[in-house]
């Protein structure tokens, strides 16, 4: 089936970012992992365009950005792949060796339901579990600071972070100040409630921390404060603060591009680009000890659909970004785009298990041993972590 | 108010109103709401489409558009209806079905259409046949625009061949997965594609007077198509037949029974409750009135406080407890801050209704913020509100805390953020 296999396409642009060795000397306890959940299924073949594949144009001519070097053209990633033109900051990260696009990646599930696949993505398993894999990572790490090891940035608590380990959450804006001890009294009244009690107690514990890290305006800002760029910037400040969490998760909705994909995706990818740059800016020196993993529930159809968009597919793209990433290349075993090479003659075929990528990060970056990786991703004994994705 | 009356009003309804007496016969009160259909809704779909047409011509700024004005008007009317209705059980059913067939302003030009969608496709059918509701939903411009079917072309239709445009399977997939048979039915990609072909041509005509649903014959994929083992002929009638088939499918009944039991019994309802609802739907050919009438008889239905109020539930429950009669703009902002902006679900599966969906620490702190803000804006004596809103559910510990609070505002905020108030 797979006639063209080209591992690690794209040449390394820089072998090591300046200062990275120094940064890592601070020790594993300083290393941070941010997971971005792209809900709705990002079209990987638009984010990282396999423009060198001769089959691409026949599938989706109208979805391909201009080639590298042309006005509004994609950024070249080594002669075969191009980064979407809405992502200049991520292109700069790539050139600095801090971005590793991973192509033809998919989880072990083969479903095309957003909701089922998002549950699987966050569970880290072929079927939904009651806890998320990032929560299970937190459980493997030493006890965290005042805010716990992990924090959800945004109003909701994604399944990815639900589970036995204590996890905080933070979101911008509010209703205005309340009477100083009202939270504590409300928490006391709710102590017997299995849901409300623990949530309020946990919220109070974090609140002292987040207010300190974000300043007085942290809880009261406007609508703009809810977008991914603002959330990512806040996540960086929280992660960089003394006693801050080491793990964070952010959800971004809006990737379900069935119609008019080109302009919509331009906005979404631009927001992703600016958000990662905001995260880098607010992390400051801690960026060098950080890995960001972006992941989505599945890719989209290789062919353009009837309305200038794409429908639910299989394999797509994940990004690793951060000063600790061994980037500047594209990690892909390219399956090809001829009809016989597509998955069910429809989707980009998966050649990389997302869990293997995550395991590579957890082992290389956070130092999780093999047994811990097995607990984080149950039933994945045969899935070996990808080596060399982070700097040693 | 005894505990049955509290359960009828809080679990099944939207909460007691400060200025109304509790029903003497709670079960009879619930049943009576299912017999009395409200007045026929005022049609608004054509007017909303005319507003959309005018906006496209004049290109106003988004916040100054006609469709935005319609959204605000309808959203506030929807909340006002929740605050004032005497038929809270029936209104909760409207909420439930509107969320089952969620249409959200996050996708497509639907802002002016959601109010008319609920009024015309949902509300008239909450005690009618599910298949009729399904057909009304699938023909409504709000759903056709939200899930992109309005612009899906049969690749072998005359228009498809001429323009090279083709299928968009978004509505077909979500209709199978979320609205009808569900994933447990085991439908395949081939079913999704077939169904999308069956639905080609189900579109809108924005230029007609009045504008509205239109079956576009020239965009319709020719030929017979197979869906879940049944074959359907081409044409609009083939689509209607497919919807009747899906709307009366046993897998659909199973799916609906599971969701109804989770809304009215518990996050994880007893399997007997689900099977009783399934039996009712199956026996009656999908009679939603019969299913609603069965809800108060399900095992576990009268166990109090098993459900956490969603933000919308909390807002309306608090507003009713405080005696409010008119929704205001800040309430829309409050729903946004509490994580459930009205008619703006992030994804086509609508809002979750389980405790875990709403139990993030930050979200819970915001409920305290919300309670304090409401207590400041609408000062009322907390003990009076507590007895009227909760009756026997008000715990002694909460009563003591209200009495000891340092201010009337603190007391009311503690009441509105107490666990017994946040549950239903």
Domains and CATH numbers, chain A: 20-173+221-376 (3.40.720)
Split at pLDDT 50, 70, 90, the class of B14 is very high
Contact B292, B34 (CB under 8 A): yes
Summarize the confidence of residues B99-117 as an average pLDDT.
96
Peptide bond into B154 cis (omega under 30): no
Q: Do B349 and A254 touch (CB under 8 A)?
A: no
Distance of CA B296 to the CA centre of its chain: 20
Q: With an 8 Å Cβ cutoff, are B365 and A183 in contact?
A: yes
Distance from CA of A177 to the nearest CA of B (A): 7
Distance in Å from the first CA to the final CA of chain B: 15
Secondary structure class of B299 (helix, strand, coil): coil
Q: How confident is the model at residue A169 (pLDDT cuts 50, 70, 90)?
A: confident
Give residue B208's pLDDT. 95
- Mean pLDDT of the residues in chain A: 86
Q: Quick check: A200 contacting B, CB < 8 Å?
A: yes
A171 touches chain B (CB under 8 A): yes
Q: What does the pLDDT read at residue A220? A: 39
Question: Which residues of chain B does A307 touch, with a Cβ-Cβ cutoff of 8 Å?
Answer: 148, 151-153, 165-166, 168
| Residue B363 with chain A: CB contacts under 8 Å | 155-157, 169, 171, 199
What pLDDT does residue B347 have? 94
Per cent of chain B over pLDDT 70 is 100
Cβ–Cβ pairs < 8 A, chains A and B: 175
Locate tokens 């793990």: which residue?
A247
Q: How far is B61 from chain A (nearest CA, A)?
A: 17
Is B192 within 8 Å of A203 when comparing Cβ atoms? no
- Looking at chain A, which residue has its C-alpha nearest residue B419? A190
The minimal CB distance from B414 to the residues A186, A207, A253 is found for A186
B366 close to B337: Cβ distance less than 8 angstroms: yes
Structure tokens at A358: 């995550």
Contact call for B183 and A113, based on CB within 8 A: yes
Q: Which residues of A298-324 are buried (b: 16+ CB within 10 A; e: fewer)?
A: bbbbbbbbbbbbbbbbbbbbbbbbbbb
The answer, for A307 touching chain B at a CB cutoff of 8 Å, is yes
Residues of A in contact with B423 (CB under 8 A): 193
Shortest Cα distance, chain A CAs vs residue B68, angstroms: 17
What tokens appear for A59 in the block? 């599938």
**C-alpha distance from A328 to closest chain B C-alpha (Å):** 34
For residue B95, give Cα distances in angstroms to A109, B145, B252, B336: 33, 21, 19, 17
- E strand or H helix at A151: strand A150-153
How many whole angstroms separate alpha carbon B335 and alpha carbon A155? 12
Question: Any idea how long chain A is?
Answer: 392
**CB neighbour list of residue A197: distance below 8 Å, 6 or more residues apart:** A187, A190, A191, B419
Whether residues A196 and B407 touch (CB distance < 8 A) is answered with no
When mean pLDDT is compared across A337-341, B40-44, B391-395, the lowest value belongs to B40-44
**Length of chain B (residues):** 424
Question: What is the torsional sign of CA B126, B128, B134, B140?
Answer: negative
- Check if the beta carbon of residue B253 is closer than 8 Å to that of residue B225: no
Cβ of B66 under 8 Å from any chain A Cβ?
A: no
Q: Is the pLDDT of residue A5 over 80?
A: no
Confidence band for B215, pLDDT divided at 50, 70 and 90: very high
Classify each residue of A174-205 as buried b or exposed e, where b means 16 or more C-beta atoms within 10 Å of its C-beta. bbeebbeebbebbbebbeebebbbbbbbbbbb
Q: Does A61 touch chain B (CB under 8 A)?
A: no
Determine the pLDDT at residue A180. 62
CA distance A35 to B307: 31
Q: Residues of B with CB below 8 A from A314's CB? A: none
> CA B122 to CA B140: how far, in whole Å?
10
Tokens of A365: 């970056």
- B325 pLDDT higher than 70: yes
The band of B132, judged by pLDDT with boundaries at 50, 70 and 90, is very high
Q: Which residue of B has its CA nearest to A225?
A: B337
Is B345 in CB contact (< 8 Å) with chain A?
no
Percent of chain B with pLDDT over 90: 90
How far apart CA B291 and CA B247 sit, in angstroms, is: 15
* Burial class of residue B383 in the structure, from the number of CB atoms within 10 Å of its CB (0-12 exposed, 13-18 middle, 19+ buried): middle
With an 8 Å Cβ cutoff, is A352 touching chain B?
Answer: no
Inter-chain residue contact A155 with B359, CB threshold 8 Å: no
**Which of helix, strand or coil describes residue B325?**
coil
Distance from CA of A391 to the nearest CA of B (A): 34
What is the per-residue pLDDT for A97?
97
Whether A231 contacts A259, CB under 8 Å: no
User: Roughly what angle, to the nearest 10 degrees, separates helices B250-264 and B271-283?
Assistant: 130
Looking up tokens 């299912």 gives B34
Phi, psi angles (nearest 5°) of residue A102: -120, 120
pLDDT band at A154 (very low <50, low <70, confident <90, very high): confident
A180-238 residue pLDDT tens:
678 888 988 998 999 998 898 888 877 767 766 665 444 433 335 568 998 999 999 99
pLDDT at A26 over 60: no
Q: How far is B99 from chain A (nearest CA, A)?
A: 15
Query: Residue B407 and residue A197: Cβ atoms within 8 Å?
Result: no
Interface of A with B in 257-296 (CB under 8 A): 258-259
Chosen for mutation from B102, B220, B365 (greatest number of chain A CBs closer than 10 Å) is B365
Nearest to B366 among A174, A193, A307 (CB): A174
| Max avg pLDDT among A18-22, B261-265, B374-378 | B261-265
For residue B346, give the chain A residue with the closest CA: A253
CB contact under 8 A, A200 and B369: no
Please say if the pLDDT value at position A140 is more than 60: yes
The B residues from 138 to 157 touching A (CB cutoff 8 Å) are 147-148, 151-153, 155
Q: For residues B127 and B32, give the distance between their C-alpha atoms in angstroms, rounded to a whole number.
A: 12
CA distance A173 to A25: 37
Substitution target in B361, B369, B378 with the highest count of A β-carbons within 10 Å is B361
A185, two tokens: 């009294």
What's the confidence (pLDDT) of residue A144? 64
> Of chain B residues 88-117, which have a CB less than 8 A from chain A?
106-107
The predicted-structure confidence for B218-236, as pLDDT tens digits, reads as follows: 999 999 999 999 999 999 9
Q: What is the pLDDT of residue B270?
A: 97
Chain B positions touching A199 (Cβ under 8 A) are: 359-361, 363-364
**A41-55, A173-187, A264-278: segment of lowest average pLDDT:** A173-187
């Amino acid at each position: 089936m797979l006639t063209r296999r080209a591992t690690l396409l794209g040449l390394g642009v820089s072998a090591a970012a300046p200062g990275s060795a120094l940064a890592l000397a601070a020790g594993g306890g300083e290393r941070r992992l941010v997971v971005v959940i792209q809900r709705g299924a990002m079209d990987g073949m638009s984010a990282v365009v396999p423009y060198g594949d001769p089959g691409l144009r026949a599938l989706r001519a109208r979805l391909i950005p201009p080639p590298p070097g042309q006005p509004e053209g994609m950024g070249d990633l080594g002669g075969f792949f191009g980064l979407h033109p809405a992502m200049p900051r991520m292109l700069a990260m790539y050139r600095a060796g801090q971005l590793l696009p991973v192509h033809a990646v998919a989880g072990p599930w083969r479903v095309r339901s957003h909701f089922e696949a998002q549950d699987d993505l966050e569970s880290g398993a072929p079927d939904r579990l009651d806890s998320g894999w990032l929560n299970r990572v937190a459980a493997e790490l030493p006890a965290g600071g005042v805010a716990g090891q992990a924090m959800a940035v945004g109003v909701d608590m994604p399944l990815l972070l639900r589970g036995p380990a204590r996890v905080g959450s933070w979101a911008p804006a509010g209703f205005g100040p309340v009477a100083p001890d009202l939270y504590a009294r409300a928490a006391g009244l709710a102590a017997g409630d299995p849901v409300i009690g623990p949530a309020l107690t946990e919220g109070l514990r974090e609140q002292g921390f987040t207010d300190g890290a974000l300043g007085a305006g942290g809880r009261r800002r406007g609508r703009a404060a809810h977008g991914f760029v603002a959330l990512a910037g806040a996540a960086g400040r929280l992660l960089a603060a003394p006693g801050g969490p080491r793990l964070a998760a952010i959800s971004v909705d809006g990737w379900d591009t069935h119609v008019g994909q080109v302009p919509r995706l331009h906005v979404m990818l631009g927001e992703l680009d600016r958000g990662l740059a905001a995260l880098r800016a607010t992390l400051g020196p801690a960026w060098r000890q950080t890995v960001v993993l972006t992941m989505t529930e599945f890719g989209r159809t290789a062919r353009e659909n009837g309305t200038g968009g794409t429908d639910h597919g299989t394999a797509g793209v994940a990004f690793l970004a951060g000063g600790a990433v061994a980037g500047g290349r594209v990690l892909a075993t390219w399956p090809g785009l001829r009809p016989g090479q597509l998955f069910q003659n429809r989707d980009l075929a998966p050649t990389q298990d997302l869990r293997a990528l995550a395991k590579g990060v957890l082992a290389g970056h956070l130092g999780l041993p093999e047994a811990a990786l097995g607990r984080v991703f149950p039933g994945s004994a045969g899935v070996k972590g990808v080596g060399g994705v982070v700097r040693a | 108010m005894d505990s049955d009356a509290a359960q009828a009003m809080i679990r099944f309804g939207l909460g007691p109103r400060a200025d109304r007496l509790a029903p003497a016969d709670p079960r009879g009160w619930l049943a009576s709401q299912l017999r009395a259909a409200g007045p026929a809704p005022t049609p608004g779909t054509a007017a909303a489409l005319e507003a959309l047409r005018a906006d496209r011509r004049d290109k106003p700024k988004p916040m100054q558009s006609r469709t935005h004005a319609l959204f605000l008007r309808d959203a506030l009317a929807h909340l006002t209806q929740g605050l004032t209705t005497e038929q809270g059980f029936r209104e909760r059913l409207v909420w439930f079905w509107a969320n089952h067939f969620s249409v959200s302003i996050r996708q497509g030009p639907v802002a002016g259409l959601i109010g008319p969608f609920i009024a015309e496709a949902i509300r008239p059918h909450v005690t009618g046949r599910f298949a009729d509701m399904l057909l009304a939903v699938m023909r409504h411009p709000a759903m056709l625009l939200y899930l992109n079917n309005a612009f899906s072309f049969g690749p072998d239709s005359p228009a498809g061949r001429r323009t090279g445009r083709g299928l968009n399977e978004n509505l077909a997939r979500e209709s199978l997965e979320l609205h009808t048979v569900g994933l447990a039915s085991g439908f395949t990609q081939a079913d999704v594609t077939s169904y999308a072909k069956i639905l080609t041509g189900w579109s809108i005509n924005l230029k007609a007077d009045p504008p509205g649903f239109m079956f576009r014959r020239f965009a319709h994929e020719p030929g017979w198509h197979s869906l879940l083992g049944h074959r359907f002929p081409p044409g609009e009638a083939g689509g209607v037949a497919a919807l009747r088939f899906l709307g009366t499918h046993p897998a659909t009944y199973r799916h609906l029974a599971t969701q109804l039991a989770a809304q009215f019994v518990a996050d994880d309802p007893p399997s007997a409750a689900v099977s009783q609802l399934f039996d009712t739907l199956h026996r009656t050919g999908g009679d939603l009135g019969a299913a609603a009438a069965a809800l108060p008889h399900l095992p576990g239905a009268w166990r109090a406080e098993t459900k956490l109020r969603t933000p919308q539930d909390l807002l309306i429950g608090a507003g009713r407890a405080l005696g409010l009669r008119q929704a205001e703009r800040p309430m829309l902002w409050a729903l946004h801050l509490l994580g459930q902006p009205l008619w703006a679900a992030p994804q086509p599966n609508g809002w979750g209704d389980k405790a875990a969906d709403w139990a993030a620490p930050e979200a819970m702190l915001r409920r305290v913020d919300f309670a304090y803000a409401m207590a400041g804006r609408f000062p009322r004596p907390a003990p009076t509100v507590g007895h009227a809103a909760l009756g026997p559910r008000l715990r002694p510990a909460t009563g003591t805390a209200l009495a000891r609070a340092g201010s009337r505002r603190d007391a009311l905020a503690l009441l509105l953020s107490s666990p017994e108030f946040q549950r239903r």
